């Protein structure tokens, strides 16, 4: 016989919790919630509260948590007490073995776990099954969008929900009273997967005319939506053809909805439910089917989606920063420029035509050029009246008649001219590094302060990617977000690293005089690498999105400076002195 393991999450209707109201579904204030399978658990502090699991198979394993506030429990099978366990531990942890039963006769069994006190929780259970008479297990997955599933009264009465939290990204649901879904298949066992939620109706399943009704999550069984849950399973069918029908059993105290995520058929002896080789969506699995074999790997899929979203967000902000930089530079280059430059020599100023001092009459008389004359040295005076008003001795008659005619004093002087260099205040050439340097202090300020506030108000910014909206409770992050939540919410590792990088960049940008001699202070590449790393870290937590954007802007500024050959002043001073410029 082929071996099969079925995973039963704590929210599955295959686990019956008693008495009503004694068990709590996934408390929102539980810091370990994200470490549990499916990020959900059922816990109780009521003495004598029970959780009953009815199954068809040869074994059962139950997992839960260990905590300092937990206590003892008992486990019974088919009415017989088996063991007593203790869930108390100094350090809180999840996915701990509570009980295991194996070697049972293949058939129907009932296991009951009872809380002795003060508290326990249940994470999930694994049912061990034997399928058919052959050694090879054949698995056929009928997704909810598969044409083998018939939706009645019509397809339009069922709505498709597309989310990555569902198997194959789709789910069919309805609130129509007489709606149903049927499938005709051949196999030894069948499993129905869907969701449970407080707004669901009871679910009625008919297998070859045998009806079973169970809760869809209303009446306090669950407090939020649980996806990819095993709703129903049956083993020992035989390889002949069978019919499975799913419908709603609405009552006044339940919600109206039911849904279907997937129907999985198991068989052995090398044939599938259609009696032929499988391919495409219905792929055979020639091994024991674990929780990860029949269902998509929730954690890996969620992690890929979240990492992709984070990188996409960083790239998106990088594109926005690049667009902002290009628009700013285009506007900056479009400004009118003052081309006035200082004279190249004090003897022959290179000036624009409108700056020439020419003998021009008020009636716009054309320019008149004086012929060149050989210099004669008659006076020892060397200061031209064009720079100073008034004069002495023989210069009075020239200064009195001077208007805008060029001075010839230096030409008629008998003494060689002594250079007099005028001091001119000319515009400085524009810095190609530009005003982008203003982004640097804003970047560092935002990074450090956002990380500081992130220590006290911890939130993963991308928790909405693949998350589930809970009512009440808000957004429940996807399982793949657990690693980011651990590094941001449970222990603010990312915030601390961000503060360290931001503080170090502040030391680099505003250094002590001794620090300016170091190569890292003079390196733009070093700054670019640190700012890129800072941009990635800050985009992960809620308060750091602005800092991430400014970090990218600073990266563009430094990259532009590097491309244009800009250097720190200390790098120029250090060149050729044995240090690294």
Strand pairing category for 468-470 and 474-476: antiparallel
**Alpha carbons 551 and 543: distance in angstroms, whole number:** 14
pLDDT of residue 395: 42
Confidence of residue 431 (pLDDT cuts 50, 70, 90): very low
Confidence of residue 374 (pLDDT cuts 50, 70, 90): low
Give the chain's end-to-end CA distance (angstroms, integer): 74
pLDDT of residue 527: 83
- In terms of pLDDT, which residue wins out, 227 or 348? 227
Instruction: Judge whether residue 194 has pLDDT over 90.
Output: yes
Instruction: Judge whether residue 143 has pLDDT over 70.
Output: yes
pLDDT of residue 375: 54
Give, for 160, the enclosing helix (H) or strand (E): strand 159-162
Strand pairing category for 180-186 and 241-249: antiparallel
Would you call 4 exposed, middle or buried from its count of C-beta atoms within 10 A (0-12, 13-18, 19+)? buried
pLDDT of residue 486: 82
Ramachandran angles phi, psi of 189, nearest 5°: -150, 160
**Alpha carbons 20 and 375: distance in angstroms, whole number:** 118
Confidence of residue 581 (pLDDT cuts 50, 70, 90): very low
Helix/strand/coil for 563: helix
Question: Which of 197-206, 272-281, 402-411, 414-423 reaches the highest mean pLDDT?
Answer: 197-206
- In terms of pLDDT, which residue wins out, 67 or 555? 67
Q: What is the Cα Rg of the chain in Å?
A: 41
Confidence of residue 522 (pLDDT cuts 50, 70, 90): confident
Helix/strand/coil for 156: helix
Q: Are 259 and 143 in contact (CB under 8 A)?
A: no
- In terms of pLDDT, which residue wins out, 64 or 299? 64
The string of pLDDT tens digits covering residues 376-388 is 555 444 444 443 4
Measured torsion, CA atoms of residues 452, 453, 457, 458, in degrees rounded to the nearest 10: -40
The string of pLDDT tens digits covering residues 162-177 is 988 899 999 999 999 8
Instruction: Judge whether residue 426 has pLDDT over 50.
Output: no
Would you call 348 exposed, middle or buried from its count of C-beta atoms within 10 A (0-12, 13-18, 19+)? exposed
CATH placement of domain 1-131: 2.60.120.260
Q: Domain extents for the chain? A: 1-131, 136-296, 378-415, 434-574
Mean pLDDT of 213-238: 88
Q: What is the mean pLDDT of the chain?
A: 76
* Fold: same for 1-131 and 136-296: yes
**Alpha carbons 499 and 327: distance in angstroms, whole number:** 31
Mean pLDDT of 501-529: 78
Q: Are 154 and 105 in contact (CB under 8 A)?
A: no
pLDDT of residue 12: 94
**Alpha carbons 411 and 366: distance in angstroms, whole number:** 24
Question: Which of 49-58, 126-135, 213-222, 372-381 reaches the highest mean pLDDT?
Answer: 49-58
Would you call 330 exposed, middle or buried from its count of C-beta atoms within 10 A (0-12, 13-18, 19+)? exposed
215 to 39, 151, 219, 341: CA distances (angstroms): 21, 21, 9, 86
Going by C-alpha positions, the residue among 556, 531, 529, 507 that lies closest to residue 443 is 531
**Alpha carbons 428 and 236: distance in angstroms, whole number:** 90
**Alpha carbons 239 and 220: distance in angstroms, whole number:** 38
Mean pLDDT of 312-319: 65
DSSP string, 238-284: -SSEEEEEEEEE--TTS-SBEEE-EEEEEE-TT--TTSS---TTS--
Bond preceding residue 19 cis, omega within 30 of 0: yes
Percentage of the chain with pLDDT > 70? 65
Would you call 156 exposed, middle or buried from its count of C-beta atoms within 10 A (0-12, 13-18, 19+)? exposed
Look-up: residue for tokens 């068989």?
Answer: 267
> How is residue 563 written in tokens?
């491309």
Mean pLDDT of 362-385: 51
Confidence of residue 373 (pLDDT cuts 50, 70, 90): low
The string of pLDDT tens digits covering residues 11-55 is 999 999 999 889 999 998 888 888 899 889 999 999 999 999 999
pLDDT of residue 23: 95
Going by C-alpha positions, the residue among 160, 162, 197, 164 that lies closest to residue 181 is 160
**Alpha carbons 189 and 240: distance in angstroms, whole number:** 11
Confidence of residue 251 (pLDDT cuts 50, 70, 90): confident
pLDDT of residue 397: 44
- In terms of pLDDT, which residue wins out, 48 or 466? 48
Mean pLDDT of 242-255: 90
pLDDT of residue 136: 87
Q: Would you give the distance in Å from CA 568 to the centre of its chain?
A: 35
Percentage of the chain with pLDDT > 90? 32
**Alpha carbons 273 and 301: distance in angstroms, whole number:** 28
Look-up: residue for tokens 């069922």?
Answer: 158
User: Residue 229 half-sphere exposure, CB side, CA atoms within 13 Å?
Assistant: 28
Going by C-alpha positions, the residue among 265, 202, 195 that lies closest to residue 230 is 195
Q: Are 129 and 56 in contact (CB under 8 A)?
A: yes
Angle between helix 545-563 and 439-456 (nearest 10):
150
**Alpha carbons 223 and 343: distance in angstroms, whole number:** 82
pLDDT of residue 74: 95
pLDDT of residue 366: 55
Mean pLDDT of 57-82: 93
Q: For residue 135, what is the DSSP state?
A: S
52 to 204, 210, 215, 311, 312: CA distances (angstroms): 20, 22, 14, 45, 45
**Alpha carbons 188 and 57: distance in angstroms, whole number:** 13
Instruction: Judge whether residue 281 has pLDDT over 50.
Output: no
Going by C-alpha positions, the residue among 108, 110, 113, 81 that lies closest to residue 97 is 113
- In terms of pLDDT, which residue wins out, 219 or 420? 219
pLDDT of residue 580: 47
pLDDT of residue 290: 32
Q: Are 388 and 397 in contact (CB under 8 A)?
A: no
Mean pLDDT of 105-132: 94
Going by C-alpha positions, the residue among 222, 266, 254, 323 that lies closest to residue 129 is 266
**Alpha carbons 346 and 314: distance in angstroms, whole number:** 55
Instruction: Judge whether residue 318 has pLDDT over 70.
Output: no
CATH placement of domain 136-296: 2.60.120.260
Helix/strand/coil for 526: helix
């Amino acid at each position: 016989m082929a071996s099969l393991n079925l995973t039963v999450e704590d929210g599955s209707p295959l686990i019956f919790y008693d008495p009503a109201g004694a068990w709590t579904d996934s408390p929102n204030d539980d810091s370990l919630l994200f470490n549990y399978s499916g990020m959900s658990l059922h816990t109780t502090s009521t003495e004598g509260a029970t959780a009953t699991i009815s199954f068809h198979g040869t074994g059962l394993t139950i997992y839960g948590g260990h905590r300092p506030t937990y206590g003892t429990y008992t486990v019974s099978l088919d009415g017989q007490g088996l063991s007593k366990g203790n869930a108390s531990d100094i350090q809180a942890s999840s996915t701990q073995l509570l009980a295991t039963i194996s070697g049972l006769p293949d058939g129907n069994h009932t296991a009951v776990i009872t809380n002795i006190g003060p508290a326990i929780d249940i994470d999930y259970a694994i049912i061990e099954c034997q399928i058919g008479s052959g050694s090879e297990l054949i698995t056929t997955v009928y997704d909810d969008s598969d044409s083998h599933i018939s939706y009645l009264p019509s397809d339009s009465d069922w709505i498709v929900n597309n989310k990555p939290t569902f198997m194959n990204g789709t789910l069919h649901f309805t609130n129509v009273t007489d709606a149903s879904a049927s499938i005709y298949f051949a196999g030894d066992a069948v499993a129905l997967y869907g969701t449970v939620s407080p707004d669901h109706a009871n679910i009625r399943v008919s297998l070859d005319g045998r009806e079973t009704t169970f809760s869809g999550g209303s009446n306090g069984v669950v407090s939020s939506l649980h996806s990819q849950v095993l709703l129903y399973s049956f083993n020992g069918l035989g390889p002949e053809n069978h019919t499975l029908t799913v419908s709603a059993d609405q009552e006044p105290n339940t919600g109206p909805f039911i849904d279907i995520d997937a129907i999985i058929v198991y068989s052995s002896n090398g044939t599938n439910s259609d009696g032929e080789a499988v391919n495409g969506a219905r792929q055979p699995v020639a091994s024991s089917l674990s929780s990860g074999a029949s269902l998509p790997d929730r954690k890996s899929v969620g992690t890929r989606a979240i990492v992709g979203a984070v990188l996409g967000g960083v790239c998106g902000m990088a594109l926005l920063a690049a667009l902002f930089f290009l628009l700013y530079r285009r506007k900056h280059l479009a400004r009118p420029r003052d081309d006035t430059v200082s004279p190249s020599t004090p003897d022959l100023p290179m000036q624009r035509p409108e700056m020439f001092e020419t003998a021009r009459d008020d009636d716009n008389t054309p320019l008149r050029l004086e012929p060149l004359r050989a210099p004669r040295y008659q006076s020892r005076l060397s200061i031209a009246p064009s720079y100073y008003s008034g004069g002495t001795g023989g210069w009075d008659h020239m200064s009195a008649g001077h208007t805008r005619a060029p001075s010839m004093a230096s030409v008629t002087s008998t003494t060689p001219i002594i250079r007099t260099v005028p001091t001119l205040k000319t515009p400085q050439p524009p810095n190609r590094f530009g005003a982008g340097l203003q982004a640097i202090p804003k970047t560092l300020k935002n990074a450090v302060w956002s990380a500081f506030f992130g220590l006290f108000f911890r939130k993963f910014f991308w928790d909405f990617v693949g998350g589930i909206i809970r009512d009440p409770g808000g957004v429940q992050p996807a399982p793949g977000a657990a690693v980011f939540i651990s590094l941001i919410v449970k222990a603010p590792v990312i915030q601390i690293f961000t503060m360290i990088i931001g503080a170090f960049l502040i030391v680099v940008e505003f250094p002590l005089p001794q620090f300016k001699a170091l190569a890292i202070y003079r390196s733009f590449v070093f700054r670019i690498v640190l700012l890129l790393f800072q941009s990635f870290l800050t985009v992960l937590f809620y308060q750091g999105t602005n800092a991430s954007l400014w970090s990218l802007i600073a990266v563009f500024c430094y990259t532009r400076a590097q491309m244009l050959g800009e250097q720190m002043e200390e790098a120029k001073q250090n060149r050729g002195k044995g240090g690294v410029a």
